[in-house]
Structure 1
Amino acid sequence: MPGKILVADPIVTNRIALKMLLSKEYFDLCLIGCPDGICDTILKRRADVVLLSQRFATTTGYDVCRTIKSNPDTSDIPVIIINDTKPQNWVLAEDCGADDLISMALDKTYLIQRIRTLYRRKAELDASLIHLHAAELVGFSETTPSAFQHAKKNLNVHILDDGSLFCDQIAASLSRCKTKRVSINNTPTSLMKDIACADVIIIPFLDKLFRSDHAIVWKINALIKETAIPVLVVFEHANAQSHAMAVRLGLSEYSCGSENLARLGLRVQSIVHFTKRKSSTREILSNHVQEAKMDSLTGLYNRRYGMKYLSHLMHKPNAKTKPLAVMMLDLDNFKTLNDTHGHVIGDQILNELGDVLKNSVRSADMIMRIGGEEFLIMLPDCFLPTAQTIAQRILDKIRTVEFVSDKLEKRLHVTASIGIAIHDGRETKDSLISRADAALFQSKKHGRDQFHFCKV
């Protein structure tokens, strides 16, 4: 399996044992005995998952984990602490931000499974971060979302309550979280409403469900697919049937057997951190995509995106039968206004004009700023009478707007001129824009504050 695993353990025999175990699974290993400078080692060796011993000569694995999670460059690296699973150790592991605590002597199969899951999770996050860092390099100002914060207590954990003893055991194991029980028998609408504020949803899955209530199985399946909230399914027993159902439900995160309940707090914390990190990264990427299409001054689409959209409209399958109108709009005497009142006032007018234009057209129409005080408006499925009505509405709204600024002694009024052209189904994009521009020239020539139409 791809991915590099960094093993930090002061005991040579432990490192050899881990190497023998993990090499059989085709992991790429890096073994160290001292954790000094571990963050630099992680970055230099490009580690994907870190396995830490509990004890070192001068420190503990928990302190080393805290160092890794506190460094913004390494905070996303999953960390598994290899230790005996005493109750007090679960609390220490949760507080330092570890992703799991595993006893290698007892949990070799589980260790391999968790490494695979955590590696896949990190690879998924890395893919988003690569795009995010690339966007920052080309000038987008929004920074990478904040890194891991130490053990957030009082996570909102909602448990789908089936009234079983197993559900009681799960709730008891999450004493450090705010737990709320939601009846699994609620209607789908009520269920979605009840879990809306949850950080994570835990679904107890009893073996009897496999044999009796298929409706609940399908409800769980739908919940996993429909909600953006992370879901952790906890199976009653660790057996082949549980693993088969996990595959059928498409689960990337699940837990099997009551003996694993002690680690639920760790699992919940790890899942919530990853989900929120991934969500915030995708949100920023989405914002960058939107910024790449927009003109920052007016809030309208920019020329680059607008021209591509116009080409798309002109080459749609129904382009020859559906009318497409375009308008070229230019503010009247805008250069004089800039020279008289300054570019700050001019920019303020352009900014407010963006809102005026957006409120004057239909929802299907698109407005782009070509440059300066020139705008192109695309009106799909629009015949000439409708285009003329919209053009007149735009002119009337611009004419009546009063532009106010503390830098002005009096309120400013501006006007605009518009040229209209209707796509004939055959001409090129440049030809269509040229006709709209020619109509705009006629509006300017005949006194401004009006629109003209250019025939083919």
Structure 2
Amino acid sequence: MTARVLIVDDIPTNVRLLEARLSAEYFDVVTASSGAEALAICQAGEIDIILLDVMMPEMDGFEVCQRLKADRRTHHVPVLMITALDQPSDRVRGLEVGADDFLTKPVDDVQLMARVKSLVRLKALTDELRARARTGQEIAIEEAMRVMDQISSEDGKILVVDIDARQTERLRGYLGATNRVDVLSNPADAALAVSSGDYELAIVSMSLGDFDPLRVCSQMRTAELTRSLPIILIAEEDDRPRVVRGLDLGVNDFIMRPVERNELMARVRTQIRRHRYAAELRQSVTNTLALAVTDELTGLYNRRYFDRHLSIMLEKAQSQERDMAVMLIDMDFFKAVNDTHGHDIGDAVLREFADRLRRNIRGVDLACRFGGEEFVVLMPDTDFRQAQAVAERVRHAVAERAFEADGARPLGITVSVGVSLNESDTDTPEVMLKRADVALYRAKREGRNRVVFDAA
């Protein structure tokens, strides 16, 4: 995982310390010694996450964060505020001006890296949604921003998972005035409860007796319906190592006991608002693009959309020195399916293949129907090893089970796959597609039902 990190602090020693820690993890680090300089850097270039000191002369971190979040060009950039202060009121103020997280000096290395990596993953997904919206129509982003301004964080539906009745009643008292709060005392039922309850946030206690709270979180992240559900852990000081593991599993936030009312409410509002924003953005993108850029038969994006999106994502990958892969897929001997069984059966097979393709690529990958029985997948931030794993998973998902075709005899289908990687600044969309096409034809010549990579 790589990203461009901006460190903002007026004390050079603090800057050098953080820069050394992050550079050791291969992050690209940019520094600023004042709020004004930080704002200028964010306006001039692409920043993935900001580590922002609170106590600075002239313009403090709260004001800098507020300005960043008020600007549509930078409001989506995660801000991790760092301060020597350890007062709940300061944390609440930071969250209320839009900070995504808060760390106290001296900064613990494990917490720092866990928080940064978690926010970088969130930024990558946000960037992908924004890029897809731009590809379809610029107005989609404008509409999403307008909706964002109108979104409220009130009346959220929250599930609290805790076996301590006294603790849950205290949480219900804190949150119940402005939210609908349900309590679940049996952690084993958590995954089922959130999948059927239309919840917008889960609060999970780290003290669940014999039941592992991280398993609860993992089950929520595994289920399709709750994969994007925000999760906040409530932890004791001794739970910090497990909290770090939880963040790696996809937990969004945590709060330490004793739980301070205002901090809890601020963190809950932040997560609910972000969840609603993401839902609205996805819906806006879906509505705007559906007719013009999707393939009517399979529901995947069409070639027109892919060609434009590939240009945007390749330019971004090259400017930020990031990996990217393109996977071209062709169904083997598909003409024989149409000739033998008719186009209705062929169309049913194409729809089923598109479903299997969706289920076996990652959330950030973009699948499109390229034409006929040919499909293409754009994979951002993907190196050789990751691309090979996804390609083999797709190939296996097609070959392992026959296709049911409206009462006809099940059909055994395989695919040939060609993959190309973003390997130099001179690559163009046409070059990457040509290399993937060459690899695809090698896969055909070598016997089909295989994955082949083609180098520059």
TM-score, with normalisation over the residues of structure 2?
A: 0.55
Contact 2:151 2:276 in 1 (8 A): no
Following superposition, the deviation at residue 57 of structure 1 comes to 2.0
Aligned to 1:191: 193
1:74 maps to a residue whose letter is T
Distance, in Å, in 1 between the alignment partners of 2:113 and 2:29 is 13
1:142 maps to a residue whose letter is A
Equivalent position SS for 2:90: helix
Q: Is 1:231 the equivalent of 2:230?
A: yes
Aligned to 1:24: 24
Q: Is 1:206 the equivalent of 2:225?
A: no
Following superposition, the deviation at residue 44 of structure 1 comes to 1.9
Seen in structure 2, the aligned counterparts of structure 1 residues 176 and 72 have a Cα distance that, compared at 3 Å, is farther
Seen in structure 2, the aligned counterparts of structure 1 residues 242 and 82 have a Cα distance that, compared at 3 Å, is closer
Larger radius of gyration: 1
Seen in structure 2, the aligned counterparts of structure 1 residues 117 and 57 have a Cα distance that, compared at 3 Å, is same
Distance, in Å, in 2 between the alignment partners of 1:76 and 1:231 is 17
Following superposition, the deviation at residue 68 of structure 1 comes to 0.4
Contact 2:34 2:56 in 1 (8 A): yes
2:59 maps to a residue whose letter is T
The alignment covers a number of residue pairs equal to 311
Q: Is 1:319 the equivalent of 2:320?
A: no
TM-score, with normalisation over the residues of structure 1?
A: 0.55
Q: Where do 5+ consecutive residues of structure 1 fail to align?
A: 296-301, 306-311, 326-379, 382-456
Distance, in Å, in 2 between the alignment partners of 1:168 and 1:176 is 13
Please show how residues 151-190 of structure 1 align to structure 2 within 5 Å: 154=154, 156=156, 157-168=158-169, 178=179, 180-185=181-186
Residues 260-294 of structure 1: per-residue CA shift (max 9 Å, x gap): 87754454444444433433333333331433358
Distance, in Å, in 1 between the alignment partners of 2:230 and 2:181 is 14
Distance, in Å, in 2 between the alignment partners of 1:190 and 1:22 is 39
% identity of equivalent residues:
18
Residues 99-144 of structure 1: per-residue CA shift (max 9 Å, x gap): 112112154431221111101110121122222212226xxx5344
Aligned to 1:111: 112
Residues 292-346 of structure 1: per-residue CA shift (max 9 Å, x gap): 3589xxxxxx9x99xxxxxx9x957653454569xxxxxxxxxxxxxxxxxxxxx
Distance, in Å, in 2 between the alignment partners of 1:32 and 1:108 is 21
- In terms of mean alpha carbon deviation, does 182-191 or 268-277 score higher? 182-191
Aligned to 1:437: none
1:81 maps to a residue whose letter is M
Seen in structure 2, the aligned counterparts of structure 1 residues 322 and 110 have a Cα distance that, compared at 3 Å, is same
Residues 150-197 of structure 1: per-residue CA shift (max 9 Å, x gap): 99553623323434445456556758963513324496798348732x
Aligned to 1:358: none
Structure having the larger proportion of residues in helix? 2
Please show how residues 55-454 of structure 1 align to structure 2 within 5 Å: 55-83=55-83, 84-105=85-106, 107-136=108-137, 141-144=139-142, 145-146=144-145, 149=149, 154=154, 156=156, 157-168=158-169, 178=179, 180-185=181-186, 191-192=193-194, 195-196=197-198, 198-210=199-211, 221-226=218-223, 227-228=225-226, 230-234=229-233, 236-237=235-236, 238-239=238-239, 242=242, 246=246, 250-253=249-252, 255=254, 257-258=256-257, 264-287=264-287, 288-293=289-294, 318-320=337-339, 322=341
- In terms of mean alpha carbon deviation, does 124-133 or 264-273 score higher? 264-273
Contact 1:94 1:266 in 2 (8 A): yes
1:258 maps to a residue whose letter is R
Contact 2:163 2:208 in 1 (8 A): no
1:208 maps to a residue whose letter is G
Distance, in Å, in 1 between the alignment partners of 2:103 and 2:176 is 20
RMSD: 4.5
